[in-house]
């Protein structure tokens, strides 16, 4: 359906209404994801839950380890952890044809909860106190993952058919390298992508990135009594540091 058509507007209204009605179900999915620790190298259990949810929604999950050759790309980074057994998970809700494709992307990995002693609640408990959920990754970004998983299910249940493909991705290594998103973008090209990071409701069209590089500055060691005969690499590095 065309995005500006009356039918599309009605479909969006129905989706919002369904999300409101099933808010408790969505919150529980966030909690289930939080209860599965997914620090760097420990993403397997959480990704298995993602795949199970995709399958129960009638999608076919593509569970795929990142290829080792990805590290040869200039925009890849090295986390120091093997890709083996730490898959990206993706699925496609196929459109009826003729429409543009859209990716909903989120990362399953979270930063360390340390120091755990500073937490008021177990960081993996997804404790709800008032109108807040406390747990590592609840905000960044298992809430976004849950929404990405929930949307295809609602579309199917409401009988809303998209013209283009909707591609849902749950990737690893966002917190350190971006390798998961890099691998997913290479495997699943699309017309557009939305990363459902928490932004306070603001639309963000660009963000900071990462550059991986090394700078070698040659010096010449000499005895301190005759330092003038040597070359101080630290002093030579100053204009480089200033430029950075």
For 6-14, what is the mean pLDDT? 92
pLDDT score, position 4 = 64
Residue 178 has pLDDT above 80, yes or no: yes
Residues 144 and 45 in one domain: yes
Helix (H) or strand (E) holding 119: none
- CATH number of the domain enclosing 64: 3.40.630.10
Which of 43, 62, 165, 174 is the catalytic position?
A: 174
pLDDT score, position 1 = 58
pLDDT score, position 74 = 87
Backbone angles phi, psi at 170, to 5 degrees: -120, 115
Report the alpha-carbon distance of residue 15 to residue 11 in Å, rounded. 6
Range of the domain at 98: 6-195
Residues 185 and 223 in one domain: no
> Per DSSP, which regions of the chain are E strands?
62-64, 88-93, 102-107, 127-129, 132-134, 166-171, 192-195
Q: What's the pTM value of the predicted model, to 2 decimals?
A: 0.86
Q: pLDDT-based confidence at 168, cuts 50/70/90?
A: very high
Residues 6+ away with beta carbon under 8 Å from 181: 105, 107, 169, 171, 174, 195
pLDDT score, position 214 = 87
Residues 229 and 117 in one domain: no
Residues 189 and 227 in one domain: no
Q: Is 109 known to be catalytic?
A: yes
Strand partners for 106? 170
Q: Which of 94-108, 137-151, 152-166, 209-223 has the least mean pLDDT?
A: 209-223
Residues 83 and 181 in one domain: yes
Which of 43, 62, 109, 175 is the catalytic position?
A: 109
Residues 82 and 168 in one domain: yes
Residue 2 has pLDDT above 60, yes or no: no
Q: Determine contact, residues 175/107, Cβ cutoff 8 Å.
A: yes
Report helix, strand or coil for 55: helix
Residues 124 and 159 in one domain: yes
Question: Looking at the domain assignment, is residue 208 inside a domain?
Answer: no
Q: Is 39 known to be catalytic?
A: no
Residues 173 and 230 in one domain: no
Residues 10 and 115 in one domain: yes
Question: Looking at the domain assignment, is residue 201 inside a domain?
Answer: no
Residues 70 and 175 in one domain: yes
Backbone angles phi, psi at 101, to 5 degrees: -95, 150
Residue 39 has pLDDT above 70, yes or no: yes
Sign of CA dihedral 110, 112, 118, 123: positive
Residues 56 and 139 in one domain: yes
The pLDDT tens digits of the residues spanning 104-132 come to: 999 999 999 999 999 999 999 999 999 99
When divided into structural domains, the chain yields a total of: 2
């Amino acid at each position: 359906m065309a995005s500006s058509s009356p039918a599309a507007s009605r479909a969006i209204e129905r989706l919002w209404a369904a999300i409101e009605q099933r808010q408790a179900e969505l919150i529980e999915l966030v909690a289930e994801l939080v209860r599965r620790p997914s620090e760097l190298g420990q993403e397997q259990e959480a990704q298995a839950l993602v795949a199970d949810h995709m399958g129960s929604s009638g999608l076919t999950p593509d569970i795929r380890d990142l290829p080792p050759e990805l590290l040869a790309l200039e925009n890849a980074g090295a986390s120091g952890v093997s890709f083996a057994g730490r898959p990206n998970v993706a699925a496609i809700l196929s459109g009826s044809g003729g429409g543009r494709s859209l990716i909903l992307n989120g990362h399953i990995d979270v930063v360390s909860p340390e120091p755990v002693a500073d937490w008021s609640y177990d960081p993996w408990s997804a404790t709800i106190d008032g109108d807040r959920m406390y747990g590592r990754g609840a905000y960044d970004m298992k809430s976004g993952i849950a929404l990405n998983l929930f949307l295809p299910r609602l579309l199917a249940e409401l009988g809303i058919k998209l013209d283009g493909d909707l591609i849902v991705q749950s990737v690893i290594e966002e917190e350190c390298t971006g390798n998961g998103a890099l691998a997913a973008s290479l495997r699943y090209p699309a017309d557009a992508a939305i990363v459902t990071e928490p932004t306070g409701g603001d639309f963000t069209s660009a963000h900071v990135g990462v550059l991986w590089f090394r700078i070698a500055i040659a010096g010449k060691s000499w005895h301190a009594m005759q330092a003038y005969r040597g070359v101080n690499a630290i002093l030579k590095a100053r204009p480089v540091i200033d430029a950075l």
